[in-house]
Structure 1
Amino acid sequence: MISIAQLRSSAELASASLPPLLAQAEHLAGTVLLGEHGRRRSGLGDDFWQYRPMQEGDAPRMIDWRRSAKTDAQFVRQREWQIAQSVMLWVDQAPSMTFASDNNLATKGDRARLLTLAIAILLIRSGERVGLTGTLLPPRRGEAQILRLTEMLLQKELGDYGMPEARAMLPHARALFVSDFMGEFENFEAALTKAADRGVRGVCLQILDPAEEAFPFKGRAIFESMGQTVRHETKKADDLRDRYLDRLAERKERLRSLCSLTDWHYGQHRTNDTAQSALLWLHRALESRT
């Protein structure tokens, strides 16, 4: 994986190729035609929205004389209402996210970084402020912020499983949490509850490897956490399948219920599915007000 030092160096050279993660995210974002992000209503903004006939109470300075000259009526030029919002991101960078059951599959962490950076690119280029939860990278606009996000997304976390960062959540912002959500459930519950108390609404995207959902193991097997802190050996792995799948289903249901309770959206994504479909769903979920 490209280092932070290499990423900074390539970002400073205008003629250098983009770092792999950023290049992939740029390509993915480019495949999604999302149109303008502005709110389609009258108000303050830079983009033209519509002409409407002048009404009682409109100031004369609001008249668009060029448009009005074409008819006997007087028309007002309205601009689109655009207020940039802040979107806070948390991406699980713990060792559990480095798992991939097949060399032809992306790791959970690689897919999480790709999707998160792609949605950040789309949001920033539509005028939103995007940053990370916590205090290390507050929400900002601009292309420079995309490079900062790329650097931060390449950093690692300690411990087997990620713990959501819910400090410095801006009131009434939006948020995106991307993880396998396999760690202590209480950590996720505390983070979402804290965010909801501040009026933050958002999306939890659970990313899993297909083997984690199918549990295709049989016979003798050794199961070891990616951080090598947990190890379990069995001679009959297939005997564990039903219990494992029940616990996984229970975890998904708890996450779904927690998101429903806090007015967040819950989604699932497997690393053998297309990244584009997940990106489309993410954008719609972040835009949704219900």
Structure 2
Amino acid sequence: MKLSSSSKYLSAEDARALRAMAFAPRMLVEGHHSGKHRSRWRGASMEFHEFRPYTPGDAPHLVDWRVFARTDRFYLKTFEQETRLECHLFVDSSASMGFPEEPGAVTKLDWASHLAACLAYLVTLRQDRVSLTLFDAAIRQHLPPGATRGHLQQILHALEQNAPGQKTSLSVALERALPLLKHKATLVVVSDFLDDPAAIFRALGAYLHRGFRVFLFQVLTPQELLLPDTAYRRYVDMETATALPVHPSAVRAAYQRELEEHHRRLSQLSARRGVEFVQARTDQPWLDHLRRLTR
């Protein structure tokens, strides 16, 4: 699949690099809606596999009566078909994802959008299905699964037009999005995860119960991971506008303890529930992290 035009988050150079990659074989597969793998089905399909003897419990309408007329024995046709992957991309678009606000800086939302665009391209490249959900405290936009070039262009356009919104509530957004997803598949959430880990995993529990394969990408900036070494700064909460003047050196140790504890809780809950959790930095190449989802 070739791009009709270059996108802010997916250039022609990106596409060339991605065409050498293939979407992960670990992704969930279910029937016609989940992953391009070979699977055997009884009944109508595109490609005949073989005959096999009838066994008690098989549906009588699947018997090949022409073979019965020739052999006086009951045989069923089996078929092979390609099943299709379905991947759901969730991109946090809350106000905090707009950090840093300096001109020309790569924000967390930029990095997340680049990753989502590349994943969408990879999925549709294999004619599999991908959806996109943009959220803050609510669902801001949802594009249902599709696999066409036109659908990919819709996703790229939605990512380009997206902007940081309101206060985040990842757990609420996950709860509200669940009815939109009709089939178990792969769920990829890209966020800064600045929310209560316990609430996040309570919301993810419904997806895991339905058999979703879940990948979490926590996107943070170097400034958030290591407070700048300055004498004095005025910090403003991007979601509440609360201002706090501090000396970074006076709070750095306590801040890093809190950040490490938050990361530890996310990591532990992920490991306990069989969820892939990756912490990414906006100064790291997105390609390095895509390798977790590719062969």
Gaps of 5+ in 1: 1-10, 60-77, 285-290
Question: Residue 281 of structure 2 corresponds to which residue in structure 1?
Answer: 270
> How many pairs align?
246
Query: Following the alignment from structure 1 to structure 2, what is the Cα–Cα distance between the partners of residues 46 and 218?
Result: 66
Partner of 1:240: 251
> Partner letter of residue 141 of structure 1?
A
SS of the residue aligned with 2:154? helix
Report the counterpart of residue 21 of structure 2 in structure 1: 34
Q: Could you say which residue in structure 2 is the equivalent of 1:179?
A: 191
Letter in 1 for 2:282: T
Shift of 1:91: 0.3
State whether residues 235 and 245 of structure 2, in contact with CA within 8 Å, keep that contact through their aligned partners in structure 1.
yes
Instruction: Give the aligned partner of residue 147 of structure 1.
Output: 153
The answer for unaligned runs of 5 or more in structure 2 is 26-34, 54-63, 65-77, 134-138
Deviations 1:90-125 (A, max 9, x none): 101111111138656411110100101101110112
Aligned partner (choices 193, 197, 205) of residue 217 of structure 2: 205
How does 1:248-287 map onto structure 2 within 5 Å? 248-283=259-294
State the 1:84 CA deviation: 0.7
Contact 1:28 1:276 in 2 (8 A): no
AA aligned to 1:160 is K
Verify the 8 A CA contact 1:41 1:80 in the aligned structure 2: yes
CA offset at residue 257 of structure 1? 1.8
Paired position in structure 2 for 1:124: 124
The structure where strand makes up a greater share of residues is 2
Deviation at 1:282, TM superposition (A): 3.6
Paired residues of 2:36 and 2:84 also in contact (CA < 8 A)? no
Q: CA RMSD in A?
A: 3.4
CA contact (8 A) 2:36 2:126 kept: no
TM-score normalised over the length of structure 1: 0.72
Question: Residue 29 of structure 1 contacts residue 119 of structure 1 at CA under 8 Å; is this kept in 2?
Answer: no
Give how far 1:243 is off.
0.8
275-284 vs 139-148, which moves further: 275-284
Higher mean C-alpha deviation, range 262-271 or range 111-120: 262-271
Deviation string, structure 1 residues 7-53 (Cα, Å, up to 9, x no partner): xxxx9xx7xx43423x43x5324313124877665647879xxxx9x
Pick from 197, 200, 218 the counterpart of residue 188 of structure 1.
200
Moved more, 217-226 or 120-129: 217-226
Structure 1 residues 29, 272: closer, same or farther in 2, change over 3 A?
Answer: same
User: How many Å apart are 1:228 and its aligned residue?
Assistant: 5.1
Partner AA of 1:175 in structure 2: L
| CA–CA separation in structure 2 for the residues paired with 1:213 and 1:121 | 30
Aligned amino acid, residue 97 of structure 2: M
Deviation per residue, 1:41-99 (Å, 9 max, x gap): 5647879xxxx9x9986x9xxxxxxxxxxxxxxxxxx9975211221111011111111
Q: Deviations over 1:215-240 (max 9, x none)?
A: 12332211112245222112x32111
Aligned residue for 2:165? 158
Structure 1 residues 233 and 35, CA, compared in 2 at 3 Å: closer, same or farther? closer
